[in-house]
Amino acid sequence: MLNHARALVLIMVGYSCAATARDIALISHKSNPVTAMAMPELAKICKGQTNRWPDGKAVTLVTRSPDAPEMKIVVEKVYAMPKDEVNAAIDTANRGRADHPAIIIVASDEALVQKVQSTPGAIGLVDVYSITGGVNVLKIGGKLPLEPGYSLHGN
């Protein structure tokens, strides 16, 4: 009986971990005509290296702090650098742009969605379960969140 109980606990722990793994979605302001992005393009925006959309409008990235546990996958797969270097890249991207920062850090997923929804040219990286109808979801590498092979799956 003890082995069955142990097996059940291990299965439940594994299920619990799988249930908390969430996709991080790339969302945009409703007016943004961009519907898809390659990972290298997203990385350039996240690092502040791209600051204009093809139509010339300013890009604003809204994100959670790289230190937040939910951003682990973004730090690993998008930035591909240690957290302290990500924070330095964000500081560099915003230097001299007090009137219109390239990257805005917010405290919650709800605040992130609201900021993207209210800021033309904005995109954001947010837990897929925080998305509302007030934003668009962009494909990354040809895939939407929850599709097999999606780049920002799990956390």
Residue type, position 85, single letter: E
Mean pLDDT of 61-79: 94
Range of the domain at 129: 23-140
Number of domains in the chain: 1
pLDDT in tens, 93-130: 888 877 778 999 999 999 999 999 999 999 999 999 99
Confidence of residue 72 (pLDDT cuts 50, 70, 90): very high
Whether 3 is covered by a domain: the verdict is: no
Instruction: State residue 21's pLDDT score.
Output: 58
The whole-number pLDDT of residue 98 equals 75
Please give the Cα distance from 34 to 21 (Å, whole number): 27
Provide mean pLDDT across the span 47-62.
91
**Residue 100 pLDDT:** 78
HSE toward the beta carbon, residue 105, CA cutoff 13 A: 12
For the chain, how many helices (H) and strands (E)? 5, 6
107 inside domain: yes
What distance in Å separates the CA atoms of residue 25 and residue 67, rounded to the nearest whole number? 18
Beta bridge partners of 127: 24
What CATH number should be reported for the domain holding residue 116?
Answer: 3.40.190.10
